Amino acid sequence: MKFSNRVGSMQASPVRKLVPFATAAKKDGVKVYHLNIGQPDIKTPEGFMKAVRDFDESVLEYADSVGSDELVNAMIEYYKGYDINYESGEILITNGGSEALLFAMMTLCNPGENILVPEPFYTNYNGFATSVDVQIRPITTKAEEGFHLPSKEKVLASLDENTRAILISNPGNPTGAIYTIEEMQMLAEVAIEKDLWIISDEVYREFVYDGLKYTSFGNLENVADRVIIVDSVSKRYSACGARIGSLASKNKEFIAQVLKLCQGRLCVPTLEMIGAAELYKTPKSYLEEVNKEYCKRRDTLYEEIMKIPGVVCEKPTGAFYMVVKLPVENAEDFVIFMLKEFRHNGATTMATPAENFYATPGLGRDEVRLAYILNCDDLKASAECLRLGLEAYKAAGNK
Amino acid sequence: MKFSNRVGSMQASPVRKLVPFATAAKKDGVKVYHLNIGQPDIKTPEGFMKAVRDFDESVLEYADSVGSDELVNAMIEYYKGYDINYESGEILITNGGSEALLFAMMTLCNPGENILVPEPFYTNYNGFATSVDVQIRPITTKAEEGFHLPSKEKVLASLDENTRAILISNPGNPTGAIYTIEEMQMLAEVAIEKDLWIISDEVYREFVYDGLKYTSFGNLENVADRVIIVDSVSKRYSACGARIGSLASKNKEFIAQVLKLCQGRLCVPTLEMIGAAELYKTPKSYLEEVNKEYCKRRDTLYEEIMKIPGVVCEKPTGAFYMVVKLPVENAEDFVIFMLKEFRHNGATTMATPAENFYATPGLGRDEVRLAYILNCDDLKASAECLRLGLEAYKAAGNK
């Protein structure tokens, strides 16, 4: 009984494959600080459940394949707040940002073609691509440079004749980097010169700190016909379980192509769209409060992490992740050590090994991604665990 | 700006592409009897919304990639009622039956490989396959033979060295056919001899009439390791908008492969699973009532359709569709005529042209699919519209 190469060669989720070790620790009564996942503890705005509870149709019917008018219209208004002008017919609602990314890849690339992505990148980019026979070509960025992009020449040198698109996450997961307007204009130039699409994953749009100015690819007029914006309510409104994402583009032909995929799977859930429409009407003050909270968490975790001898970490300016270079040879081995062997005050810390966030073999072996999604006291305790755990790891003879 | 061949060559949904004609008619005040879509008017069991309304977590979190324990356990109990024994770890919850089908195709077939499917088939089978570079190879079945399968020799002659699976819909959409145990055993023999998977789409499992005995592929022990059951709450519990489907298989390696795809898209919606778990606990009496209602509707529509001179239609024994051969050359042209030009008592009827339910070019051009999802009075009126519409179509000089 054979399986396809595309799914056969997909790696199991690096974020989820260590879960059994955490489960075993918890069964032993150990408290596990989860810095490994992007599940926020922020309250979902109450409008979501209120609207869902008010649903009183006697039949839970199919929705429109493009998404509900209410949700699309709420998103149009939301985008206007960022000077991004989309109209009805330019937005498709998807099953999370995940389906948006998968549909974009399927629509733009034949098997064997590729997409340029700055590494380290959200590891599921590689999963989606592999599952539909698309390759990820990395543009390597470095912790020491705050994960900013290399020169235009290096970006041009990274692509080949089979490159169809540039995919970025901005603010970046796992890097926490925010691209400058100059970096984005450089990518826009490359896209125009090489006739590439730009897929801009902006699900962390509001998670920008230190008063930095954030520019969306939806603001760049010169590439409007080749830009595809991926969005999601998951992180923005702490509604990961709603699985409501979207694709937006001024390129009507692109929308028409993706619509065929949307029609094939009929629609996204009716109730989730009812709730999500309310989310997109949430006052900006909610997002500002959340932003403040994450900024505080970032400062707390960063300060504690920098107390650990031998780490390399540039303070991130966006999203809610940081990539930390540890003074170890194999970060995954260290993460497993933490879960299996190390306890401090009955607790341990779970991080995500970063190697799978890279496409270039060998890179990231000594790095982990930390998500600062816990309250500040827990973040302090979790960083202390990491510091003491590293000492114990070394003391046990590990390199 | 180029698009991929796979999405470029997908046909727009034949069910949905005629919708603008219906919309225009409705704007003119015309009542449109929708026999074209599988959206039931049966009430969704109240347990769904009750459970959803009771959700009171403050954060709407990600669920497990495999699906919630509650839903999986409810499905295990449900299957036991049909002597189908699945355990935890053998069922994956998906975004509708649609995602289940897409994931199965991606997992079993490399680009260029193919799946054997009796035609006419659910047209989105072709859409899913095309979108991931898989081909559909048809086994032609005929209205005059009640859409039953041809001989084993003919089935064997339909496959080639690139065939990886047999996909059936049983009860059949659009045919309404129920396969006999002998037909299923024949397919099982072919699968064993040629080392093929069997994907059995059984979303209409309860829609079986005339006291016929229904056998699931989950009941055939000799192919347990190569059978994949696709299910959905959409039709079974009139909950199309929930988008909750599933894949089940005793083949643990298959489940492990698909799990990678499930982990990539993280999870299906948390709330929909809470509701769906209640659906699968619905007493069988609900399904029996629904069955009776559809049986009555089938009898009503079939009786009325057979009054139309020149039609060919075998009385279907399952699902809620019938394929009707009309005395016209081009059924799509007739369907458009009905929507644009024909009115009787201020109403008209919308059918689905059946050509796109076939992979063999030229077949089905004179056929339509009718869904008997309206109440009996409306079904009578809609059939009368069809009969008078055909007369008018012919009188206007159409062939």
At A219 the three-state DSSP class reads: helix
Predicted pLDDT of residue B140: 97
Residue of B126, B243, B254 to mutate when probing chain A, most A C-beta within 10 A: B243
Q: Are B326 and B365 in contact (CB under 8 A)?
A: no
- Average pLDDT (B238-256) is 97
Measure CA B215 to chain center: 17
Of A12, A39, A41, the CB nearest to B62: A39
Which residue type sits at B289? E
Predicted pLDDT of residue B313: 93
List domains and CATH numbers for chain B.
Answer: 5-43+285-395 (3.90.1150.10), 47-282 (3.40.640.10)
- Tell me what percent of the residues of chain B surpass a pLDDT of 70: 99
Q: What is the mean pLDDT of chain A?
A: 96
Beta-carbon contacts below 8 Å between A and B: 226
Tell which B residues from 227 to 256 touch A, by Cβ distance under 8 Å.
238-243, 251, 253-254
Which residue numbers in chain A have pLDDT < 70?
A: 14
B58: chain A residues, CB-CB within 8 Å: 43-44
Judged against a pLDDT cut of 80, whether residue B16 lies above it is answered with no
- Average pLDDT (B184-189) is 98
Of A44, A55, A197, the CB nearest to B60: A44
Q: Give per-residue pLDDT as tens, A208-226.
A: 999 999 999 999 999 999 9
Question: Nearest CA of chain A to the CA of B102: how many Å?
Answer: 9
Band of pLDDT at residue B247, cut at 50, 70 and 90: very high
Question: Nearest CA of chain B to the CA of A327: how many Å?
Answer: 30
Q: What is the mean pLDDT of chain B?
A: 96
Alpha-carbon distance A327 to A309, whole Å?
A: 8
Alpha-carbon distance B218 to B214, whole Å?
A: 11
> Which two three-digit tokens encode residue A388?
């003491």
- Average pLDDT (B82-89) is 97
Q: Give per-residue pLDDT as tens, A27-80.
A: 999 999 999 988 889 999 999 999 999 999 999 999 999 999 999 999 999 999
- Average pLDDT (B321-344) is 97
Q: Which residues, in sequence order, are CB contacts of A199 under 8 Å at separation 6+?
A: A101, A104, A108, A115, A165, A166, A167, A168, A228, A230
Predicted pLDDT of residue B37: 84
Predicted pLDDT of residue A13: 74
**B257 to A61: CB separation less than 8 angstroms, yes or no:** no
Predicted pLDDT of residue A37: 84
Q: Are B102 and A131 in contact (CB under 8 A)?
A: no
Predicted pLDDT of residue B12: 78
Predicted pLDDT of residue B264: 93
Predicted pLDDT of residue B2: 86
Predicted pLDDT of residue A197: 98
- Average pLDDT (B175-186) is 97
> Which two three-digit tokens encode residue B143?
């209205």
Q: Which residues, in sequence order, are CB contacts of A179 under 8 Å at separation 6+?
A: A148, A149, A168, A170, A172, A187, A215
